[in-house]
Amino acid sequence: MIRHPRHRHGIPVPASSASTSGFYVSYRRDDTRHVAGLLARDLAAVFGEQRVMVDTQMPAGEDAREFLARSLASCQAMLVLIGPRWLTSADARGLSRLQSPDDWVRTEIAAVLRSERPVVPVLVDGAAMPHADDLPADLKPLTTRNAVTVSTGNWRSDVQHLARLLATLDPPDPSPSSLTDSISGGLRSLFGNRAPPPAPRAPTVAARPAAPKPAPAPVKRPVSAQSSAGKDIFISYASDDRERARLFAEAFAAHDRRVRVLHRRGKRGLGTAYVAGFRYALQRDYELILEMDADFSHDPQDVPRLIQAAGDSDVVVGSRYINGVNVVNWPLSRLMLSYFASLYTRWITGIKLRDCTSGFKCFHRRVLQAVNLDSIQSDGYSFQIEMNFRAVHRGFHIREIPIIFIDRRAGTSKMSKRIVREAIWMVWKLKWLQISGRL
């Protein structure tokens, strides 16, 4: 049991849960309060506000014990901010706060350490990691945890580095069942046990899987029908190894009746796979249509964030560049190509997007109906540029929300010189079609 220093009423120590998905920021008020607020704000811009927890979010009048118990029970990892006064902070009697068994900071850290979830010491502005001899017994394991540093003088790059590290914690299992579970769990976390809002109608997730090198194992267990009631998933795939992709998709669908697989004959390219998926959704009267990569470069846990953002936007883009550069494990050459492709596109077309080539999007059906899919000319990665340009040209509003993009764990990139050439010339072609009134 842990106790609140003021109320002295027990709070159950949270147990590990499969639903944990957030980051809890622990800090001492007379040490790093200002840093805790800034860090929570900036991490929320990357991961979403619901995934970053700090006690400054506690509503006025709420029971602090209940808030802490709920926050710790749902945290995937804890960040412990250690500044120059973290170890030496004393109460009004001059006694060490950390040595008191009722110290709030001590009890929350000890609770998560016992749960065996990740605890990340964050050393602020040159603070040193405390020695084990200076800590009470229940906090000694903290000294064995790998620490990161942040400084107010190098804030932006330090926080970006921390965010990349957090993005790699507890990664999902790259299997068909894991993808279904992740999407279903994300939708469930958005709507809870309530039915989703009556409008829009059931959204469709269009996934484009990159087939792993080994033959995909069968899905071991079906996803509970109530985990994402009314949400359909269909797969329109484009892969260099069509047989493996077909087996992967069919194994995915065999154990979940909500999954549909759209098979296409021959190798017809990335753009046509997207268009085929869009047509499938429009024919079945879905209101929201999402596209994403299924090699876990796009985190399925971000799906509900895109759906939520679509409430006041026509198109939502999961953006790698809206808050700095949120890309993990890409070689510098690939990152530069992607980043400057967006700059180049904005310069020529005037599209006011930070990430013009992102393939993680949510469309309202009205956008796909207005964009003449028969007129789409792009086949490679310029497809994303063309869809953005045509949507903006027709007056639709596009909103970017931050995501973290982590390079694929299996398969190989389809990027080629031909695709790059197509993208270079396509932006000029689109601009000319707009000027000449033929877009």
Which tens digits make up the pLDDT trace of 320-371?
Answer: 999 888 888 888 888 888 888 889 989 999 999 999 999 999 999 999 999 9
Query: Which amino acid type is present at position 13?
Result: V
Per-residue pLDDT tens digits for 391-424: 999 999 999 999 999 886 555 566 667 667 777 7
Closest CA to 50 of 230, 202, 186: 186
Of the ranges 61-75, 89-103, 156-170, the best mean pLDDT one: 89-103
Average pLDDT, the chain: 76
Least confident residue range of 132-136, 246-250, 316-320: 246-250
Q: For residue 215, count other CB atoms closer than 10 A to its CB.
A: 12
Domains of the chain: residue spans and CATH? 2-167 (3.40.50.10140), 176-435 (3.90.550.10)
pLDDT of 181 strictly over 60 = no
Give the percent of the chain with pLDDT over 90.
22
- Residues 310-329 have a mean pLDDT of 91
Residues facing 79 on adjacent strands: 25, 120
SS3 287: coil
Burial 157-173 (b: 16+ CB within 10 A, else e): ebbbebbbebbeeeeee
For residue 80, with 0-12 CB atoms within 10 Å meaning exposed, 13-18 middle and 19 or more buried, which class applies? buried
Q: Which two tokens stand for residue 332?
A: 């510098």
- Which tokens go with 160? 């970006």
pLDDT for residue 236: 60
Question: Would you list the DSSP string of 113-178?
Answer: HHTT--EEEEEETTPPPPPGGGS-GGGGGGGGSPPEEE-GGGHHHHHHHHHHHHHTSSPPP-SHHH
Using a cut of 0.85, tell me whether the model's pTM lies above it.
no
Q: Which residues are paired to 319 by β-bridges? A: 402
